[in-house]
Each structure stands twice: as C-alpha cells, then as structure tokens.
C-alpha cells in the first residue's frame, strides 16, 4: 500500500507533465491566432494610411518617376493607379508572395490601389510560449507539492493500519491503530479500533467459556472416575456404600449428559442460518408447555398456571418453545414448594409477549447483566445441586435472536422473577378468550 502511494505521486507528476505539454501547445496555437489577427488589423490600418497619402500626392500631380519612387519604398506591396478606367501605373507583381489583403483610396476619375503581400509578424509566438511554459511549471510544482503532502499525510495512518492488522492476524487482539489525521482517516481509526475491541472481547469470552466448560466437565468426571475406581478396587465394601456410589455415578453421568445436550443445542443454534416460519397460536403453545412441565411442578409441590389470550404470530414454533421451556424449567427449579409459576401470553402494542412469572427467590441486580452468559450462574453451588448446566439462558437468548425476538427480565430478590419473550407482531387486536383451557390450572 505504501509503495502504491509513492507511485501515485510519480503518476500524478507524469499526468501533470502531459497536461502541461498540451497546455503549451494549445496556448501557442491560441496566441498565434490572436497575434495573427492583431497584426493583420494593424497592417491593414497602416496600409490604408499609406494608400491615402499616395492618393493625395497623385492628386497634386505626381508623375511616373515619383510613383516609381513610392513603389521602391514599398518592397512587399504592389502599387496600382487607375484613372478613367485605365491603369496609369502598376508596380511589379509579387508572384513569390501570397496576397494578404488589398486597400484602396479614391482620386478624381479613379483609385489608388495597394496590394499587400507582407505576412504578419510572429514575434509574439516565443513570448506566448514562454508565458505558457512558466504557468505550466508553476502548476507542475504545485501538483508535486500537493502529492507529496498527500502521501506524507496518508502514509503514517495507513502504515499503522497495516501494522495493527498484522498484529491482529498474529493473535495480538490488544493492538490498536489510534485516531489521527484527516477526518476520513480518523473515522477509519475509530472503526478499526472498535473492530479490534470486539475481537478482543470475543476472544476473552471464548477463553472464559472454555475455562468454565473445562471446570464444568472436570467436576462430574472426577466424581465418576473416583467412585468407579472405588467400586472396581473394592474400596466400597458395604452394600449401602455401593448403592450410594452407584447413585452418584448415575447422577453425575446424567448431569454430564445434560451438559453435552445443552452444548449440542447451543452449537446447533449458532450454526442455524434461518428459522422456519409459520403461524403459531400462542395460547396453544403456552398450554402445551404447561402440560410438559405439569409433572415436574407436581413433584415440586407448586402450582403451574396458564393465562393466555388467543394471539397468532409468525415465528419458528420449535425455537419459541425452546425459549419458553427454559423459562419454565428455571422457574420451577428456583421456586420453593408451595409457590406458583404462571405462563401468560398477551398483546403489547406492536409485539406479542410470552411471560413466565414465578414466586421464587429472585435474582440480585448485580447478576442480571450476566445471567445470559454461557455457563454463568448466579448461585453456582445451588445450581449444581438442582441440576442446571449454566447454558439454558444462553440457549434461550440465541434462539430468540434466531427468530428476531428479544428477551426481557424483571427480578427482585425474595419476590420472584418474570422472564418475557417479546415477539414481533402485526396482527389485529386479540380477542377475549374465556375458554376453560386458558384459565388457571
């Protein structure tokens, strides 16, 4: 790139030289024409004065010798005197020179005619060439100076951009180009540094995710390995201890399987290019979700309710169910016995909302910004006990993004939480639904 900028200056100089040559040629042509016209007008005026002077002498009675003397002092002109229709005097013809113009002056009974064969003077051509050449030289010098300043102005930020790009390509995501130079280059620097910052954040998130994932896998794997070895080498002797060890192996195996299943779901969502769109009736989706989780709610000794208006939206039902299932699963997990989980669907201006509200423990404000991060837990120890993988809300957010929706959350410690899936909606206002299946369950 830098070499191209340098060659740009050379090409600009060559272009200006070519332009200057054309300007000199055009200037010479124009000045030659102007000088020729000016000289011709001057010569014609002078010749007319001479012709009138000769006509005055002829009227005073000049003879042939006097007319010849006048002819002799006009070597480039032919003098002709005509009287009473006859030529009384004619100088020698100028056959070797072209006729430029003819002027005449009247005398009694005739005319005095002067044929001018002298070419206009061309002394202004050299002067015109000199003037044009000086102007062209000034233009070339100015262009060379402008090109030099341009190259010097652009070279440094472009060089920094190249160096920064090389460092980023080598894995140094802390590299920054900086902001300097003209506004366009300053904008380039800001955009470049913003891109580098995003790459650095993505790299840090990936490293943190891999570290968290290794930690999440190591815990059940260590338990599996330890109890499996104990069962094999006979360290666990009693039947009760063997049963307890076997139960732990089963629990940790299931936990590891859930983690792998969630990872697979998250990868599939990341690789999904487009969602499958169809009409989805939200009241039916809420009722089906409640039916799937009714047994879990009964085992946790809590009430699971549905309050849904009949609203139809165009979305991917599989991805929408993925989001709502995660909301309900978390609500049941973090709501104590005797609590209530409510699934609702309602209209909000130009959006349709599926909300899951619980009466659980709630989430502290300091955790709300990060609960959608992969493998992040607001209460790590308790979440492992309840079987969460730490990927559910990350999966929900990615699924919502795939269908052009967004997730909202409100929570207060001790008062429960409400998670909302906000879907684009452009239909008519929802009708009131008093059907039995949409009432409290």
Residue spans per domain, the chain: 2-124, 173-271, 278-438
Class of domain 278-438: alpha beta
What is the per-residue DSSP string for 122-153?
-THHHHHHHHHHHHHHHHHHHHHHHHHHHHHH
Q: What are the beta bridge partners of residue 262?
A: none
Question: Given this model, what pLDDT does residue 407 score?
Answer: 92
> Parallel, antiparallel, or unpaired: how do β-strands 110-116 and 101-107 relate?
antiparallel
- Distance, in Å, from the CA atom of 68 to the CA atom of 79, rounded to the nearest integer, reads 9
Question: Given this model, what pLDDT does residue 440 score?
Answer: 42
> What HEC string does 21-34 produce?
HHHHHHHHHHHHHH
What is the per-residue DSSP string for 178-215?
---SSHHHHHHHHHHHHHHHHHHHHHHHHHHHHHHHHH
Question: Given this model, what pLDDT does residue 439 score?
Answer: 40
Characterize 236-251 residue by residue with b for buried, 16 or more Cβ atoms within 10 angstroms of its Cβ, and e for exposed.
beeeeeeeebeebbee
pTM score over 0.75:
no
Q: What is the pLDDT along the chain (441 residues), one digit of tens a residue?
A: 444 445 555 666 666 667 766 766 666 666 666 555 666 677 778 778 878 888 887 777 777 777 777 777 777 788 888 888 788 788 788 767 777 778 888 888 888 888 887 655 555 555 556 666 677 777 777 777 776 776 666 777 777 888 888 888 888 878 888 877 667 777 888 888 888 888 888 777 677 666 666 766 776 787 788 888 887 887 777 888 878 888 888 877 877 777 777 677 667 766 665 678 899 999 999 999 999 999 999 999 999 999 988 899 999 888 899 899 989 998 998 899 999 999 999 998 889 999 999 999 888 887 887 787 766 655 544 444 444 556 778 888 888 888 889 999 999 888 899 999 999 886 654 444 434 344 443
On the CB side of 174, CA atoms within 13 Å amount to: 0
Q: Does the fold of domain 278-438 match that of domain 173-271?
A: no
Question: Given this model, what pLDDT does residue 295 score?
Answer: 92
Counts of helices then strands in the chain (DSSP H, E): 10, 11
Unique residue bearing structure tokens 């280059």: 185
Q: Which of helix, strand or coil describes residue 237?
A: coil
* Torsion, CA 66, CA 72, CA 76, CA 80, rounded to 10: 30
Question: Given this model, what pLDDT does residue 126 score?
Answer: 58
- Categorise residue 310: left if φ over 0, alpha if ψ from -120 to 50, beta otherwise: beta
Phi, psi of 348 (to 5 degrees): -135, 95
Question: Given this model, what pLDDT does residue 409 score?
Answer: 93
Phi, psi of 246 (to 5 degrees): -65, -40
Domain 173-271 listed as CATH 1.10.287.130: yes
Is residue 192 within 8 Å of 222, Cβ to Cβ?
no
């Amino acid at each position: 790139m830098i070499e191209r900028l340098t060659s740009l200056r050379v090409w600009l100089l060559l272009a200006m030289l070519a332009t200057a040559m054309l300007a000199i040629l055009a200037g010479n042509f124009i000045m030659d024409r102007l000088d020729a016209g000016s000289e011709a007008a001057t010569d014609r005026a002078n010749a007319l004065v001479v012709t009138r002077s000769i006509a005055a002498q002829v009227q005073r009675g000049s003879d042939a010798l006097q007319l010849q003397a006048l002819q002799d002092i006009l070597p480039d002109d032919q003098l002709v005197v005509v009287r009473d229709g006859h030529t009384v005097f004619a100088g020698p013809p100028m056959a070797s020179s072209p006729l430029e113009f003819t002027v005449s002056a009247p005398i009694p009974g005739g005319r005095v005619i002067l044929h001018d064969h002298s070419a206009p003077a061309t002394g202004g051509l050299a002067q015109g060439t000199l003037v044009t050449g000086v102007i062209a030289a000034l233009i070339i010098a100015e262009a060379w100076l402008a090109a030099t300043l341009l190259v010097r102005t652009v070279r440094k930020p472009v060089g920094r951009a190249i160096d920064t790009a090389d460092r980023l390509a080598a894995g140094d995501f802390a590299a920054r180009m900086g902001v300097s130079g003209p506004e366009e280059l300053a904008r380039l620097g800001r955009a470049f540094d913003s891109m580098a910052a995003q790459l650095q954040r993505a790299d840090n998130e990936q490293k943190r995710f891999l570290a968290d994932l290794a930690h999440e896998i190591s815990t059940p794997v260590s338990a599996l390995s330890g109890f499996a070895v104990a069962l094999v080498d006979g360290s666990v002797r009693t039947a009760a201890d063997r049963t307890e060890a076997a139960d732990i192996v089963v629990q940790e195996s299931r936990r590891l399987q859930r983690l792998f299943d969630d990872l697979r779901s998250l990868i599939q969502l990341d690789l999904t290019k487009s969602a499958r769109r169809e009409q989805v009736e939200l009241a039916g989706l809420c009722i089906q979700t409640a039916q799937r989780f009714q047994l879990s709610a009964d085992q946790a000794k809590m009430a699971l309710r549905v309050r849904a208006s009949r609203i139809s939206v165009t979305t991917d039902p599989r991805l929408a169910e993925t989001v709502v299932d995660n909301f309900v699963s978390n609500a049941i997990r973090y709501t104590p016995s005797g609590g209530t989980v409510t699934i609702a669907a309602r209209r909000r201006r130009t959006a349709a909302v599926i909300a899951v509200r619980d009466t659980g423990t709630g989430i502290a404000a300091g955790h709300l910004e990060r609960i959608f991060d992969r493998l992040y837990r607001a209460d790590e120890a308790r979440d492992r006990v309840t079987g969460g993988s730490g990927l559910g809300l990350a999966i929900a957010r990615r699924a919502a993004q795939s269908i052009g929706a967004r997730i909202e959350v409100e929570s207060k410690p001790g008062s429960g939480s409400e998670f909302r899936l906000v879907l684009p909606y452009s239909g008519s206002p929802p009708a009131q639904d008093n059907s039995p299946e949409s009432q409290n369950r």
